[in-house]
Chains A and B, each alone.
Chain A
Amino acid sequence: MRLIRTLLLLLPVAVFATGCAMNAPHYTPSVDNVQLLKKGGTSMVKVGGFSAIKSDGNANPISIRGSSLNSPYNASYADYLGEALKQELLMANRMAAASDVEIGGELLKNDIDASGFSVGKGNMSARFTVKKAGMVRYDQVKTVQSEWESSFVGAVAIPKAVQEYSNMVGKLLAQLYSDSAFVEASK
Chain B
Amino acid sequence: MRIVKLITSALAVLALVGCAHPMSMAPELAKLEPAQGALIKKKVVYVLADEARNRMVTTPGGGGDSVTYYPYKDIETGFYKMLSNVFDNVGKASSMSDTAALAGASYIIVPTVVTSSSGSNPLIWLPTDFNVDMTLAFTDAKGAPVTTKKVVGAGKRDDGATLGDHSYSGRKASEDALKQMQRKLHDSPELR
Contacts and interface: CB of A to CB of B under 8 A. Distances in A.
B23 A8 contact: no
Nearest to B28: A26
A160 interface: yes
Nearest to A33: B77
B123 interface: no
B5 A9 contact: yes
Interface of B: 5-6, 8-10, 12-13, 15-16, 19-24, 26, 29, 76-77, 80-81, 84, 91-92, 164, 166
Contact of A8 (B6, B24, B26, B91): B6
Tell me whether chain A's interface is mostly helix, strand or loop, or mixed.
Answer: helix
B8 A12 contact: yes
Interface of A: 5, 8-9, 11-12, 14-15, 22, 25, 28-32, 34-35, 91, 152-153, 155-156, 159-160, 163
Given A31-B92, A159-B166, A12 B12 contact: yes
Contacts of B81: 91
B98 to A, nearest CB: 12
A118 to B, nearest CB: 14
Contact of B22 (A29, A34, A35, A163): A163
Contacts of A22: 164
Contacts of B21: 155-156, 159
Contacts of A35: 91-92
A11 B9 contact: yes
Given A29-B29, A156-B21, 19 more contacts: A8-B13, A9-B5, A11-B12, A11-B16, A12-B8, A12-B12, A14-B16, A22-B164, A28-B77, A31-B77, A31-B80, A35-B92, A91-B80, A152-B15, A155-B19, A156-B19, A159-B21, A160-B22, A163-B24
Given A15-B16, A28-B29, A31-B76, A8 B10 contact: yes
Given A8-B6, A25-B24, A15 B29 contact: no
Contacts of A152: 15
Given A31-B77, A159-B21, A153 B91 contact: no
A89 B76 CA distance: 17
Contacts of B8: 12
Which one of B12, B24, B80, B166 has the highest number of Cβ atoms from chain A below 10 Å of its Cβ?
A: B12
16 contacts: A8-B9, A8-B10, A11-B13, A12-B8, A12-B9, A12-B12, A29-B29, A31-B76, A91-B77, A91-B84, A152-B15, A153-B16, A155-B16, A155-B21, A159-B23, A159-B166
B1 to A, nearest CB: 12
A91 B90 CA distance: 11
Contacts of B12: 8, 11-12, 14-15
A161 to B, nearest CB: 9
